Amino acid sequence: MKQGIPFFLLTMILISCTEKKTNYASYQDYPAPLQTELWLDYSKEQTTFKIWSPTAQMVKLNLYKESIGGEAFEHYEMSLEESGIWSKQLKGDFSGTYYTYQIKVNGNWLEETPGIYAQAVGVNGKRAMVLDLESTNPQGWDTDKGPKTSYPNEAIIYELHIRDLTIHPQSGSSKPGKYLGLVEDNTKGPHGISTGLDHIKELGITHVHLLPTFDHYAINETKLDSAQFNWGYDPQNYNVPEGSFSSNPYKAEVRIKEFKQMVKTFHDQGIGVILDVVYNHTGRTENSNFNLEVPGYYYRHWENGKLSDASACGNETASELPMMRKFIIESVAYWAKEYHLDGFRFDLMGIHDITTMNEVAKTLKAINPNIIIYGEGWTAGDSPLPIEQRALKHNTQKMPEISAFSDDLRDGLKGSVFEDASTGFVSGAKDTEESIKFGVVGAIHHPQVDYKAVNYSKAPWTNEPWQSISYVSCHDNHTLYDKLKVSRPDADEAAIIEMDKLSNAIVMTSQGTAFMHAGAELLRTKKGEHNSYNLSDSINQINWNWKFEHPDVFNYYKNLIALRKAHPAFRMVSATDVVSYLTFAAVENGLVSYQIANNANGDSWKNILVIYNARTKAVDYKLEGEWQLAVIDNTFYMDEGPKISKSIKVPAISMLIAFQK
């Protein structure tokens, strides 16, 4: 009898024949199938699963009945196509089936992953689900649209965390901390005040900016009855809403339905929805979904092979690599199309490369020309990406459709966010006027700005004024009220309140895109905490008693917003117009004034006089000609104010506006 091949040896030969052997010199050598569709392709007749993993030897597809627990009821070996694409097509209707991929690299099976293109996931995001996305659309979704915004500085952006707005025991919400709680109408707080959505509508903002609301690691969705809080800057699944804000994180379709209903309700009220996105790093590194597909590829490294960390969160993504760029562009496009979003705020945008950001803008504007795109024009550390290629604030002129935050105005107004004792224009610092002027004109080139005297930027960095995001506070660092308190311990409460109001009065009358932190209109405090990203609700929540206690402050903010919306002269669309129509007048220590002339940007007021007095005493301001008061101290006359001439006393720490018809 002839001796045959031993069974174990035959098995090893067969495995070696089916396993892919690859040996790339560097990530740049990896194939990049940029035109290949990597999203799940579902129909009732069949579903096609795809994953890009050029270094994999084998890839398995595992099917589950539940989002957590239990064994896979089926395993399939995926087939290798060209350019590192692995696929598997299954006949029949698999809607409602959970699945994972598993990659074999260098002879080792990695952890299971839902895949970076997962569109629906179960509890804690470990398993993806096949889903008919049309079944998640709320009634009227086909005709749903956000507000029209021809230029970004027509928007007044209100930055909030979904949980913060409704979690207080007196918020009046029946769904505190949830997507649907945020858009619940007719909620009442202490003494019958309006809260939640009705408060937002009453305030008059045009867009809500949601802190990261895609699926993140920090919250354990199986333990939502325990105290948990996080801002969400630790992304896990980029194309799925966070489950802890839904009514049932175990069912993948629920969070999608409720997120869409939230967007639809905001749109029904004429309010746009902007999503804070964190493509610059992942919440995990070694076992992130990116590394469980193509180990190492999606991240930047130094020449010695060490991971770079410009995010200060353990890693940074490599947006300049073709498949990472493809992912970012397709991901934001997916959110824009599937969820009807009206804008995107890029966390640490300076980590991304300029080419990627311009492609993002081009893609999004083709989907919806009203979409607003802005980001933080800085990094949190050094990066191997050359400075001239980074989407930094001072490179904004190379990104003509994108805006960046003006830390020049932010810290010019109230002092450095990194130094508690530092003060700014409103809190009594000297020699801050040029930073205020720079903020007023939207960081453009203006012949009356002395750039050498601007706090950070020594040159203009925008092409047009709307590319500058005008703000004085956000979720990071102290709230405005807390910063003023800690930097001016000698000031009484009344003075602190006047500084607070003047800060955002300057923001709302600057030519950039106006942005405010939720609760600033209520003197929001986080009890002096600098960084509340994982602190308790008692620190982060909006306490609705503040609205009852400070109605004068709320009404001041409400009137500021109404003023900006009514007068397009405060939001000119071109640098040419700002230079032509806006002229600075008296500028002295603690005082900045300017005029806007000739019905700028189609304004009903022919000439406008704006005076910011940060001094602790009233200023006797001389006038040329006759004017009509629009704003003085806490009074907003708008079009109905008294006539003034010769001179006017500008109250201490306040803004005055007058106009000529």
**Which of these three, 526, 541, 571, is where a domain ends?**
571
**Same domain, residue pair 95 and 242:** no
Domain contains 236:
yes
Check whether 196 has a pLDDT greater than 60: yes
Please report, for the domain that includes residue 629, its CATH number: 2.60.40.1180
Secondary structure class of 390 (helix, strand, coil): strand
Token couple for 509 = 């009358």
CA dist 10 and 578 (Å) reads 78
Please report, for the domain that includes residue 360, its CATH number: 3.20.20.80
Token couple for 516 = 């405010």
Secondary structure class of 125 (helix, strand, coil): helix
Burial of 432 (0-12, 13-18, 19+ CB in 10 A): buried
Average pLDDT over residues 337-361: 98
Please give the pLDDT value at position 316: 98
Domain range for 607 is: 579-660
**Same domain, residue pair 128 and 193:** no
Domain contains 255:
yes
Burial of 639 (0-12, 13-18, 19+ CB in 10 A): exposed
**Same domain, residue pair 338 and 220:** yes
**Residue 347 appears among annotated catalytic residues:** yes
Region for 140 from its dihedrals, namely left if φ exceeds 0, alpha if ψ lies in -120 to 50, beta otherwise: left
CB atoms within 10 A of CB 213: 22
Return the percentage of the chain with pLDDT > 90, whole number: 96
Please give the pLDDT value at position 22: 66
**Same domain, residue pair 543 and 604:** no
With a CB cutoff of 8 Å and minimum separation 6, the contacts of 343 are 155, 207, 209, 272, 273, 274, 275, 371, 372, 373, 374
**Same domain, residue pair 48 and 104:** yes
Domain contains 144:
no
**Same domain, residue pair 547 and 650:** no
CB 524 within 8 A of CB 483: no
60-77 pLDDT tens trace:
999 999 999 999 999 999
463-522 pLDDT tens trace:
999 999 999 999 999 999 999 999 999 999 999 999 999 999 999 999 999 999 999 999
**Same domain, residue pair 351 and 373:** yes
Average pLDDT over residues 559-573: 98
With a CB cutoff of 8 Å and minimum separation 6, the contacts of 555 are 634
With a CB cutoff of 8 Å and minimum separation 6, the contacts of 369 are none
CA dist 462 and 277 (Å) reads 22
pTM score? 0.96
Alpha helices in 106-195 (DSSP H): 162-166, 179-182
For the stretch 616-637, what's the b/e string if a residue is b when 16 or more beta carbons lie within 10 angstroms of its beta carbon?
Answer: eeebebeeeeebbbbbbbeebe
49 forms bridges with which residues in the sheet?
Answer: 88
Of 178, 175, 174, the closest CA to residue 163 belongs to 178
Check whether 6 has a pLDDT greater than 80: no
Please give the pLDDT value at position 25: 87
Of 530, 374, 533, 403, the closest CA to residue 461 belongs to 403
Q: Which of 24-33, 128-137, 331-340 has the lowest mean pLDDT?
A: 24-33
**Which of these three, 74, 106, 136, is where a domain ends?**
136
Average pLDDT, the chain: 96
**Which amino acid belongs to residue 581?**
Y
Token couple for 22 = 């690859």
Of 517, 557, 525, the closest CA to residue 543 belongs to 525
Average pLDDT over residues 579-588: 98
CB 402 within 8 A of CB 357: yes
Identify the band that residue 80 occupies on the pLDDT scale cut at 50, 70 and 90.
Answer: very high
Identify the band that residue 16 occupies on the pLDDT scale cut at 50, 70 and 90.
Answer: very low
350-378 pLDDT tens trace:
999 999 999 999 999 999 999 999 999 99
The count of domains in the chain is 3
**Same domain, residue pair 118 and 198:** no
**Which of these three, 136, 169, 198, is where a domain ends?**
136
Q: Which of 184, 309, 316, 347 is catalytic?
A: 347
CB 180 within 8 A of CB 197: no
CA dist 655 and 657 (Å) reads 7
Please give the pLDDT value at position 9: 39
Secondary structure class of 605 (helix, strand, coil): coil
**Same domain, residue pair 567 and 613:** no
Please give the pLDDT value at position 20: 60
CB 95 within 8 A of CB 130: yes
With a CB cutoff of 8 Å and minimum separation 6, the contacts of 155 are 149, 206, 207, 272, 343, 372, 513, 514
Average pLDDT over residues 644-652: 98
Q: Where are the beta strands (DSSP E) in 494-538?
A: 513-517
CB 235 within 8 A of CB 215: yes
Of 141, 61, 64, 68, the closest CA to residue 102 belongs to 61
Domain contains 445:
no
Of 160, 165, 246, the closest CA to residue 541 belongs to 165
- Tell how far CA 76 is from the center of its chain: 39
Please report, for the domain that includes residue 100, its CATH number: 2.60.40.10
Burial of 441 (0-12, 13-18, 19+ CB in 10 A): buried
Token couple for 158 = 């209100």
Please give the pLDDT value at position 526: 98
**Same domain, residue pair 115 and 174:** no
Q: Where are the beta strands (DSSP E) in 354-423?
A: 372-375, 403-405
**Same domain, residue pair 564 and 423:** yes
Domain contains 98:
yes
Domain contains 538:
yes
Burial of 419 (0-12, 13-18, 19+ CB in 10 A): exposed
Region for 178 from its dihedrals, namely left if φ exceeds 0, alpha if ψ lies in -120 to 50, beta otherwise: beta
With a CB cutoff of 8 Å and minimum separation 6, the contacts of 183 are 196, 197, 261, 262, 265, 266
Average pLDDT over residues 249-271: 98
Domain contains 356:
yes
Q: Which of 164, 258, 376, 577 is catalytic?
A: 376
- Tell how far CA 99 is from the center of its chain: 30
Of 66, 64, 86, 84, the closest CA to residue 74 belongs to 64
Token couple for 361 = 């803008």
Domain contains 327:
yes
Average pLDDT over residues 562-588: 98
**Same domain, residue pair 506 and 651:** no
CB 234 within 8 A of CB 281: no
CA dist 489 and 13 (Å) reads 77
Average pLDDT over residues 422-428: 98
Identify the band that residue 294 occupies on the pLDDT scale cut at 50, 70 and 90.
Answer: very high
